[in-house]
Amino acid sequence: MAHQLNENELKQKARHYRRDILKMLYEAGSGHPGGSLSSIDILTVLYSNVLRHNPENPCWEDRDRFILSKGHICPALYTILSDFGYFAREELGQLRQYGSMLQGHPCMHHTPGLEVSSGSLGQGLSIAVGVALAARLNGTDIRTYCLMGDGEVQEGQVWEAAMSAGHYKLDNLCAIVDKNGLQIDGNVEDVMNIDPLTDKFEAFNWNVIEIDGHDVVEIGNAFLQASQFSGKPTMIIADTVKGKGVSFMENAPGWHGVAPNKEQLDAALAELEEEK
């Protein structure tokens, strides 16, 4: 892996990725800005400073595995994969187009750097548990990471997977909940309350770390703690803001799955340009 990025470099990367996300969604005319913007700081740290991966050899046997369970926020992942050289930057302008390698939900058969096709919520953690178990059985030091949304934690399959991971003490597994408090139908608390989330995962025999999901230092430290913890899988609960970085998108359920128009795009890009 390349040299570790410092705090300022990570922040600049994330700002650059936010701009890419908004441009992609504008060009596509559809997509999901809210969750893409809330999770991008987590993904920036993961791919820049944590994940063992090789863009020149996406199927490198010794790579760590990342499972994007909340597949609808794939624009966040696509801009990162492009930046690392998994495919040409020009492809970003083809998001959601017929025949494009960048579909509206991740397809491993079209996009280099993807481990699984995803989008049907609640399934990613089950896949990650299987991958982590396989790594253990194969005697490798591969680590598996899985990013979920807080809305999808309402799915029963998540808890079956959580029970399995705790039972098998999969300390090579680290999951992250992007806890922005909103889902397509409104507030997570009102649709189906998932709290107290920390207590629940601890009861399922997980090591739980709570962080500010936009503080790149806290994010990096959490991933480090997870890698050093033995005997249990780790769940990082990241408190985030849906639409983070664009004032009129922040904490607004309506921006879950709506692309900006030209005026909104220009306003958002101007905000991000001014951000320090």
Spell out the per-residue pLDDT of the chain, length 276, in tens.
557 999 999 999 999 999 999 999 999 999 999 999 999 999 999 999 999 999 999 999 999 999 999 999 999 999 999 999 999 999 999 999 999 999 999 999 999 999 999 989 999 999 999 999 999 999 999 999 999 999 999 999 999 999 999 999 999 999 999 999 999 999 999 999 999 999 999 999 999 999 999 999 999 999 999 999 999 999 999 999 999 999 999 999 999 999 999 999 999 999 999 765
- Is residue 264 in a domain? yes
Other beta carbons within 10 angstroms of residue 49's beta carbon come to 20
- Is residue 2 in a domain? no
- Is residue 14 in a domain? yes
- Is residue 1 in a domain? no
The answer to whether residues 13 and 45 touch, using CB atoms and an 8 Å cutoff, is: no
Predicted TM-score of the model (pTM): 0.97
The answer to whether residues 125 and 162 touch, using CB atoms and an 8 Å cutoff, is: yes
- Is residue 45 in a domain? yes
**H or E segment to which residue 211 belongs:** strand 207-212
What is the number of structural domains in the chain? 1
Q: What is the pLDDT of residue 51?
A: 98
| Cα–Cα distance, 178 to 39 (Å, whole number) | 6
| Cα–Cα distance, 69 to 87 (Å, whole number) | 21
For residue 38, give the CATH number of its domain.
3.40.50.970
- Is residue 200 in a domain? yes
**Domain that includes residue 111, residue range:** 7-274
- Is residue 173 in a domain? yes
Q: What is the pLDDT of residue 3?
A: 78
- Is residue 181 in a domain? yes
